[in-house]
């Protein structure tokens, strides 16, 4: 996939120290962008920076601490970034937590909904002033095919009335998709040039066994390599969403193969009935109330 020259562009990638985020940073850095790797574990992040520099000597990278499961950390990150930089060309909401045991964030949210959706919702809102100032900026938010069949249970967002890891993962990824669409609608309503685009990586081998204490058996790893996309392929929809000049905002980008599990990036149609405006409005209002972050579109 051809990616345009990005020299001088400022790009934030959350969860950039591994998997899809890491692969995206490598490609974007080769195109001249200055990339801020927003990571929870700075030690792991530093190793990733060193690894990228070995492959892309000219890479322009900055490591910054961001814990999406802690709203104060999100606020600190946004404040630090805003004090250092006067523009933001692309925000890639990539970081994700997948099917962990039941756990809550520092602010008392269920971990997957809190990190995957609310953390990114707050981050985007806090960085919106810079995005608005930067002509033709973009917000790319990663969803998942797990949004299919998912729903938002507004009466049990924190999991206190029962928790199933995969169900709550699907809920968080549906929330990512609805947020991306509603954000684009509101940006357009206010005449703001920033685009909001959703994407997903298909099924990438980086997503599985993330929370297992033991390594996957060798035969399972081999099977994963055959059936699932490697992370560099899984990163292609993200790169497409972040850089393709033909996109107008509001699209959903995913692999074009069977079931959208693997393949080359293309504009995809989400599951039928996903974009329910009442649900999108309610999710937005709840997200602002829970995070305390109000979006300023003026």
Positions marked catalytic: 169
Question: Tokens 């909001």 label which residue?
Answer: 196
Q: Which residues contact 50 (CB under 8 A, 6 or more apart)?
A: none
Encoded tokens for 186? 């509101």
Give the burial string for 144-153 (b: 16+ CB within 10 Å, else e).
bbbbeebebe
CA–CA gap between residue 126 and residue 132 (Å, rounded): 11
29 contacts 55 by C-beta, under 8 angstroms: no
Q: Is the dihedral of CA 139, 252, 275, 67 positive or negative?
A: negative
Closest alpha carbon to 234 in 212, 206, 209: 206
Please spell the DSSP secondary structure of 24-88, one letter per residue. HHHHHHHTT-EEEEEES-HHHHHHHHHHHHHH-TT-EEEEEE--TT-HHHHHHHHHHHHHH-S--
Q: Which residues contact 258 (CB under 8 A, 6 or more apart)?
A: none
**CA atoms in the 13 A half-sphere facing the CB of 129:** 10
CA–CA gap between residue 18 and residue 108 (Å, rounded): 26
Q: Which residues contact 124 (CB under 8 A, 6 or more apart)?
A: 91, 93, 131, 139, 141, 183
């Amino acid at each position: 996939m051809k990616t345009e020259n990005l020299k001088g562009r400022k790009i934030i990638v959350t969860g950039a120290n591994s998997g899809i985020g890491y692969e995206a940073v490598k490609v974007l850095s080769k195109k001249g962008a200055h990339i801020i790797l927003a990571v929870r574990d700075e030690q792991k992040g530093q190793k990733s920076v060193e690894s990228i520099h070995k492959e892309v000597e000219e890479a322009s990278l900055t490591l910054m601490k961001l814990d999406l499961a802690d709203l104060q950390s999100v606020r600190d990150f946004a404040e630090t970034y805003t004090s250092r930089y006067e523009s933001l060309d692309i925000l890639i909401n990539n970081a994700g937590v997948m099917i962990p045991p039941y756990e809550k964030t520092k602010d008392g949210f269920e971990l997957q909904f809190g990190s995957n959706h609310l953390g990114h919702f707050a981050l985007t809102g806090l960085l919106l002033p810079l995005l608005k100032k930067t002509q033709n900026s973009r917000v790319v938010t990663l969803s998942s095919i797990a949004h299919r069949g998912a729903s938002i249970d507004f009466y049990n967002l924190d999991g206190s009335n029962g928790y199933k890891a995969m169900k709550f993962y699907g809920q968080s990824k549906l929330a990512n998709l609805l947020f991306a669409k509603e954000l684009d609608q509101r940006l357009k309503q206010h005449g703001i040039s920033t685009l909001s685009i959703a994407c997903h990586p298909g099924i990438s081998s980086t997503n599985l066994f993330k929370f297992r204490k033991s390594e996957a058996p060798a035969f399972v790893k081999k099977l994963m390599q055959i059936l699932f996309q490697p992370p560099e392929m899984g990163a292609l929809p993200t790169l497409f969403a972040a850089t393709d000049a033909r996109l107008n905002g509001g699209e959903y980008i995913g692999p074009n193969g069977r079931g959208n599990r693997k393949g080359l990036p293309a504009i995809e149609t989400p599951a039928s009935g996903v974009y329910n405006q009442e649900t999108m409005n309610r999710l937005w209002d709840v997200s602002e109330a829970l995070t305390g972050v109000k979006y300023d579109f003026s």
